[in-house]
Amino acid sequence: MLIKKELLSQPQYEDCTHEIEVPFIEYQTLAVDTKNLRLFSRLQASIEWKDPELAWDTSVYPYDNVILPVNKVWTPELHVTNGIRTTMKHSSRDLLVFSDGRLMHDVIINAEVNCEINLFNYPFAADACPIALHTWSNYGCGTMLSLDVVYLVNKTNGDWQTTEVNLLTQGLDHHYIMVKLSIKYLNPFITLLLPSILIVLADVVSFALPLGGGERNSFKVTLVLSFTMFLIILNNELPGDGECSPIIRTHFCVCLVLLVLSMLVSLVLTRLAKDGSIIFSCCTKGPVPKKEEENEDEEAKADISVVQLSASEEHGRMLRKVVDFLEDFDAKLLKSEQYEQFASRLDKIFFWLYFIGGTIYFSAMTYVMVNYECEINHFTFWY
């Protein structure tokens, strides 16, 4: 008898509105896409509504309730207002009908929600995303929702965990579930933040290597190349940009600037320790031509052949040459030591500036990542 009525449209009342009761909703976070700022959710809702046309007299039909195929009667549809893609399906092919015309049914909603997640503090990010629910209505006619309670199922999924869900209302007819999310920072901290800290720490310790010899410069160049490859590899793993862009991108940029600056200073100080100047000179004294050498030898031979020196004078002349050579060598050695001492003093000064500046920077960056709050309006879909 009920199936033959073919009641496939919304029950009609005087004010052309119909109330849909939702006693409870089970919410579950399926995934959080930090690259495209998407929240994937699953909702299982128990819905109840009343259709007087489906009531019957229990004295004629002695049954308090019956089961009907879900496609033989009208069933309300729940929609996600801020959902990009939403699918609603029936949890069963049947529903329950009571003798007073009351119907009970369960539906499952899978929703992909555009959620501008606050990732400024990544990997210490935490935020709340609304999932707005509504039913069909137009020009004051249609259905109205009456939501009671929401339960959280399966709090942890991947790197994100759902800490709390609340059923809230904005205005008279705007219902939404506020989903509070927080990231499990251990995995992103180990894969993203910790390597940058260790590479900069290795760069600081590299000042223990001697300034000359090239070992320090080679090591610093290796660190810069390693960090550059690290950024290239993890480019797809970094969260996407939004109103609150992740500050970890700025952190990586600062770390790369520090490494390159340390490498350049080390190269300049190596040049300073060797030549006493940071200005590269292209004018170097080339080799003496062969003909000039031969002419000088012939002149020397002519002089020797003309001037005849005694043995004592020859011995004194050789001693003066040796003394002049040693004095010149000592002067060059002293000047080289002065260059090295001056470069070493500058190296120590830069080391302490680098160490103190790096410590202050990492302390400030950690404080900002943990404590700063960037505000985002999540309700721009309502106008």
Distance, C-alpha 269 to centroid of its chain? 36
- State mean pLDDT over 132-157: 84
3-state class (DSSP) for residue 260: helix
pLDDT at residue 109 in the model:
94
Average pLDDT, the chain: 83
The radius of gyration of the chain's CA atoms, rounded to the nearest angstrom, is: 41
CA–CA gap between residue 32 and residue 40 (Å, rounded): 6
First to last CA, the chain: 45
- State mean pLDDT over 315-340: 73
Who has greater pLDDT, 85 or 18?
Answer: 85
Report pLDDT digits (tens) over 86-131.
Answer: 999 999 999 999 988 899 999 999 999 988 888 888 888 888 899 9
Secondary structure (H, E, C), 119-182? CCCCCCCEEEEEEEEECCEECCEEEEEEEEEEEECCCEECCEEEEEEEEEEECCCEEEEEEEEE
pLDDT at residue 25 in the model:
93
**What is the largest distance, in Å, between two alpha-carbon atoms of the chain?**
153
pLDDT at residue 286 in the model:
46
CA proximity to 251, closest of 117, 120, 67:
120
CA–CA gap between residue 127 and residue 115 (Å, rounded): 10
CA–CA gap between residue 162 and residue 231 (Å, rounded): 29
- Which amino acid appears at position 363 of this protein? S
Q: Are strands 141-152 and 17-33 parallel, antiparallel or unpaired?
A: parallel
CA–CA gap between residue 215 and residue 225 (Å, rounded): 16
Contact 121, 242 (CB under 8 A): no
CA–CA gap between residue 207 and residue 220 (Å, rounded): 10
Altogether, the residues listed in the chain come to a count of 383
pLDDT at 337 over 70: yes
CA–CA gap between residue 88 and residue 45 (Å, rounded): 10
Percent of the chain, pLDDT > 90?
Answer: 29
